[in-house]
Amino acid sequence: MRFDRWTVTVAVASCLVGSSRTAFAQTVPSTARDSAHELDAADPRYPATIPYTSFERYAVPEECASAAIWYTERSRYTVDTDTLYLGRTGRPLLQSTIEQVRSCLSRFTVESVPQRELLGLGAAYLAANQDSLAAAAFARLDQLLASAPMLDRAWARYQMVSRYLSAVLPRVEAADRVLQSLDQLGPSAAVARLHGHLAMAQLAQCRDSVTLWDRETRAALALVRQMPHDVTRDYISQAFESYVLRTRWFARQNAPDSAAAVIADAKRLLVPLQPIMMGKVQLLSTWIAMQGKPAAPVKATRWYNVTSSADTIHPASGRVSVVMFGAPHCYRCRPGYAVLRRLRAAYGASLDLVMAAQTVGYFGERLVSPDSESRLIAHYFLDQLTLPVHLAVWNTPMGRRDDDHVTVLAAPNRDAYPMPPSEDWVAVVVDRDGFVRLATEVTASNEVLLDDVIRETIAAPRDSSRRLAATVSKGDSALTMTWARQVITAGAAIDSILAAHADDPALSLPVKTTVAQRLVYVLSITPDFKATLKRLGLTPDRFTEGYRRLHAAWYAKRLDEFLRQQGRTLLEMQQSGDVEHVSPEDRKFMDEHDEELTTLGIGKLMS
């Protein structure tokens, strides 16, 4: 008997197909939101029946189910293109569709189909809610394989687990029974067992069933550690996925240190087997890098959908926030937008939803100015998609490399919230004390997890002692705040010096920028300030870097003013090189006035 390995991925998709609460479900109680999540037949926008073409043309039983599911998804998708999300309790097929599947299946019986069709027949019976017939199909397959090699039997049982879990409404208990029988085949069936436990762990993650998730990831990792290295190398993707799921479980449990330990273990075991895994391990690290650390304020050139200037400090102290990074061109983000709407409906005013976006220089198919792009981004998110979020748009200052490629000069939100590249659909949950609780993708398969974490975070009281404990344990959180205040003070002083010279025609923008940077440097090496830095446990380099980031905002603001004064666009400035390069005249000026300006700056700052 031959099985195709592609079915490994079936279980991964299972949580996109639906879920149901069982004895294995997470103990977090169901809430009223469940009804809001049920988007199936109760939604009047969806048709009561789906106009199928004839099922007669389907020659094998599995097609009866897969066609029905495909038609159903397409029908739903036509109505609501933003999301294919199926809710916490799943979205079963319409009764009329189930009848179609049963009619299609009536041409087949467990006894009459060949062995190769039994798995598909079982899957189709599950789609038709005929579980006993599905069990009979799988039992017959097991029976036919009784004398087959053990590896074939093991793989067949994993396939059964996969079919149970990838059903429209996953049958977790039945899958677990088969998985137990698979485990009884012993160490030589380790590969099939690993696949089975991974499938179960993935479903547990989708349902946020922490007990099951814990059990299955432990089992999967135990198998990975027992397997000979040659076998691990052959199944390194599955081995790594085991570590990923275990890491995410610790992150879910708010234990970033334990998650880091799992990642270190993955690095120790997997990277020697396949060096390319290093990149994946590092990527995994970025997911937990923020967790447990103070969340940086979101920077914006302009805020939209805020009530006042005071409403532009997010994440706001004392409130639970979800910070999401979006972009109009991010197709993968879009199912997540529906998640945001549901979160708003569920939590109302007790949750802040903050969308951080940044300009990229174009919108759709056109180059646009930063201000236009900012407005277009706001129009898209707030008017077209009607997302219930505070929107922060950062006008990204751009430079150009010698080969004409544009470069981002400052991206404070990306710097403050380091995340895997291009992972625009990441959401960061921030607790009331301003600490990152969880960073995760906003996808349909993560919504239950995200929902549960947010609910727990909202329910948790503020804990000032926790903040103090974090400060003591980390050693620098409080110092960081002090340092930030010092930097801001110094920055304001430097800005005031520059403002005093704002009307000086000899001081062009590049000169001002360069002078400001020099003042920062000089300031950082003066004896008094060095002592301050030492007291704060900071190095001059770190201070300079901190100011550079703060200064980026100043630079962007001044650049904007300068462009308005000049009546020129950023593109023109970049093309002419005015943004990046200091002209010979400016250079000469700086050389002549360097000492004077520096002395002036130090004197004012020291006073």
Q: Which is nearer to other proteins, 78 or 496 (CB)?
A: 78
Interface with other proteins (CB under 8 A), residue total 35
> Which of 33, 140, 302, 379 contacts other proteins by CB under 8 A?
379
Alpha-carbon distance values, 30 to 449, 455, 601 (Å) = 13, 11, 62
User: Could you say which DSSP state residue 2 is in?
Assistant: -
Task: State in angstroms the smallest separation of the CB of 436 from other proteins.
Answer: 29
> Would you list the DSSP string of 473-488?
HHS-HHHHHHHHHHHH
Task: State in angstroms the smallest separation of the CB of 567 from other proteins.
Answer: 13
> Would you list the DSSP string of 74-114?
HHHHHH-TT-----TT--PPPHHHHHHHHHHHTT--TTTS-
Considering the rule CB under 8 A, would residue 571 count as an interface residue with other proteins?
yes
> Which of 46, 363, 425, 554 contacts other proteins by CB under 8 A?
363
Alpha-carbon distance values, 39 to 16, 343, 455 (Å) = 14, 15, 21
User: Could you say which DSSP state residue 166 is in?
Assistant: T
Task: State in angstroms the smallest separation of the CB of 84 from other proteins.
Answer: 11
Residue among 317, 343, 575 nearest 446 (CA): 343
Considering the rule CB under 8 A, would residue 71 count as an interface residue with other proteins?
no
C-alpha to C-alpha distance for 437 and 250, rounded to whole angstroms: 12
Q: Which is nearer to other proteins, 331 or 489 (CB)?
A: 331
Copy the structure tokens of residue 393: 């748009």
Considering the rule CB under 8 A, would residue 282 count as an interface residue with other proteins?
no
Task: State in angstroms the smallest separation of the CB of 592 from other proteins.
Answer: 35
DSSP-based three-state secondary structure for 400: strand
Q: Which is nearer to other proteins, 115 or 407 (CB)?
A: 407
DSSP-based three-state secondary structure for 430: strand
Q: Could you check whether the bond before residue 315 is cis, i.e. omega within 30 degrees of 0?
A: yes
Any idea of the CA torsion for 506, 512, 518, 524, to the nearest 10 degrees? 130
Task: State in angstroms the smallest separation of the CB of 370 from other proteins.
Answer: 11
Considering the rule CB under 8 A, would residue 242 count as an interface residue with other proteins?
no
Considering the rule CB under 8 A, would residue 44 count as an interface residue with other proteins?
no
> Which of 156, 368, 497, 538 contacts other proteins by CB under 8 A?
368
Copy the structure tokens of residue 412: 């404070």
Considering the rule CB under 8 A, would residue 364 count as an interface residue with other proteins?
yes
Considering the rule CB under 8 A, would residue 70 count as an interface residue with other proteins?
no
Task: State in angstroms the smallest separation of the CB of 82 from other proteins.
Answer: 8
Task: State in angstroms the smallest separation of the CB of 17 from other proteins.
Answer: 20
Query: CB within 8 A of 470, min separation 6: which ones?
Result: 292, 435, 477
Considering the rule CB under 8 A, would residue 96 count as an interface residue with other proteins?
no
Q: Count CA within 13 A, CB hemisphere, residue 296.
A: 18
Considering the rule CB under 8 A, would residue 303 count as an interface residue with other proteins?
no
> Which of 36, 264, 367, 502 contacts other proteins by CB under 8 A?
367
Q: Which is nearer to other proteins, 223 or 368 (CB)?
A: 368
Residues forming contacts to other proteins in the complex (CB under 8 A) are 74, 77-78, 81-82, 328, 331, 334, 360-369, 372, 375-377, 379-380, 384-385, 398, 401-406, 571, 574
